[in-house]
Structure 1
Amino acid sequence: GWMMGAGPKKDKKFIQKLMKQLKEGKKELFIVDDKDGTPTYTHDFAKNVKALIQNEYWGLYNMVCGGQTSRLEVANELLKMLKLSDTVKITTVKSDYFKEIYFAERPLCERLVNRKLELRKVNLMQDWRVALKQYLDKYYQGYLN
């Protein structure tokens, strides 16, 4: 999964990069279609960590937003939420399109499953679409105007 949470100033993640391109007036986004993952809202993450501590559940946990998805699906959803689906084109590329910029090899699937949270009945992670909407409302109000 990848995090979203610091907003335009600090965030160097997928959503922030897309928002920056949109603010610059880009009418075409290049999105990889061979990577799966789930965006994770840091606020949800923190809330869930707190619940684990309060319950004294120690150990290693996977903690990502609910809903299986891909970067392509997230980009499409983002444009839909921003009402830009008709004006901005998404062009799909394979991940080696970006290999000059990102040297680190990325796994084909970055998706993690919150199974342990589920077992302990402390999975507070929201669906990624809900989290994405909250994130945009909190950090990107009026950003593109």
Structure 2
Amino acid sequence: MIRLLVTGGKGMLGRALAEHVASLSGATFSAPGRDELDVRDADALLNAASQARGGWIAHCAATVDVEGCAREPDAAREIIVEGTRNVVRAARAAGARLFYPQSFLVYDGASNPIPEDETPQPLSLYGKLKLEAEQVIRAEMDDALIVRMAGFFGGEEIDKNFVGRIIPAMAAAMERGETRFDIGDRVWQPTWTRDLAENSIQMMLADKRGIYQMACHGQASFAELAQEIVAALGWEDRLRIERVEAASVSGNELGKRPDIAVLSCTRLREDRLDLQRDWRATIHAYLRHPYFDRYRLKGA
């Protein structure tokens, strides 16, 4: 049994959480999108939080565009930090627990794997605002569950992260007759939102609190992930992935990211709550969704 309100319920992780909760017997939930519930509206949040009384609020609403945050810092702060402050007040008023999915971009990647007691050192404004929002939560709620997550993919048409952007870009390159595609060697942990959602709900049901880290098993450069996408969609004979230095393809980034960011998920394993899988298995499973038939070659 779980009562859950998801802010940002139409986003990548929010939608995955809602889909998983919908499969649970006896669960009640609400997952409004930004047009239905804007976290900047404190009164609307107070009203919505009543749906989670005695349960959980999963605060997924955020501006996730690193470059967009750099371009519009005031708007980003209003949503990420002040929006979180509103959610905390609403959760306290409703007697609800708070689940906060945190970004791995609160780290600078100076040490890898990144231990769970690592002091966050964000490189981008986005990471700094996400860390400030986390600090707001920790100052006001001692029973919050904060999960620092690896970079993720999922949501098919709403995926604005690497997988969602690179597939149409590679498809367009092939349409132009190109046979080579350069991808940077930045290393991360590509993690499916479906796995993150299931794992996160299990942690809520287990009444967990404090700070955890969560990521797929294994790690991959963007180039390795792109090559796996090429294989899954049957493009091997049409497109060759060339691994290049990250700086050569990311020089226009307004928000700096770590070149390597691999999370240690020790606490999750010690609590026997690690439901994550190998990234190769999950990217192939994800790309079997009918949505990707528009890109897939016959027989793939």
TM-score (norm 1): 0.88
Deviates most, 87-96 or 118-127: 87-96
C-alpha distance in structure 1 between counterparts of 2:290 and 2:203, whole Å: 27
Q: Which runs of 5+ in 1 are unaligned?
A: none
User: CA 1:99 to 1:72, structure 2 compared with 1: closer, same or farther past 3 Å?
Assistant: closer
Q: How far is the alpha carbon of 1:101 from its aligned partner? A: 3.3
Structure 1 residue 105: Cα displacement: 1.0
1:111 corresponds to: 262
Q: Distance in 1 between matches of 2:180 and 2:164?
A: 16
Aligned partner of 1:12 in structure 2 is 160
Work out the number of aligned pairs and report it.
143
The answer to whether the 8 Å contact 2:181/2:241 transfers is yes
* Percentage of pairs with the same residue: 26
Aligned AA (2:162): F
Instruction: Determine the structure 2 residue equivalent to 1:31.
Output: 183
Distance 2:280 2:192 in 1: 10
CA distance in 2, matches of 1:89, 1:99: 19
Give me the whole-angstrom Cα distance separating, in 1, the residues matched to 2:267 and 2:190: 19
Q: Which structure ranks higher in relative contact order (CA pairs < 8 Å, sequence separation ≥ 6)?
A: 1
Change (3 A) 1:50 1:58: same
Cα deviation, 1:42-79, whole Å, max 9, x if unaligned, reads 11001001111111111111111111222121111111
In terms of fraction of residues, the more strand-rich structure is 2
1:86-120 CA-partner distances (Å, limit 9, x unpaired): 21021222222234432211112121122111010
2:198 and 2:241 mapped to 1: Cα distance?
A: 33
- Matches of residues 1-145 of structure 1 in structure 2 within 5 Å? 1-8=150-157, 10-26=158-174, 27-33=179-185, 35-138=186-289, 140-144=291-295
Larger helix proportion of the pair:
2
Larger CA deviation: 24-33 vs 61-70: 24-33
CA deviation string 1:10-37 (max 9, x = no partner): 211111122112332433322112x111
Which residues of structure 2 form unaligned runs of 5+?
1-149
Runs of 4+ aligned residues of structure 1 deviating over 6 Å after TM superposition are none
Distance 2:264 2:290 in 1: 27
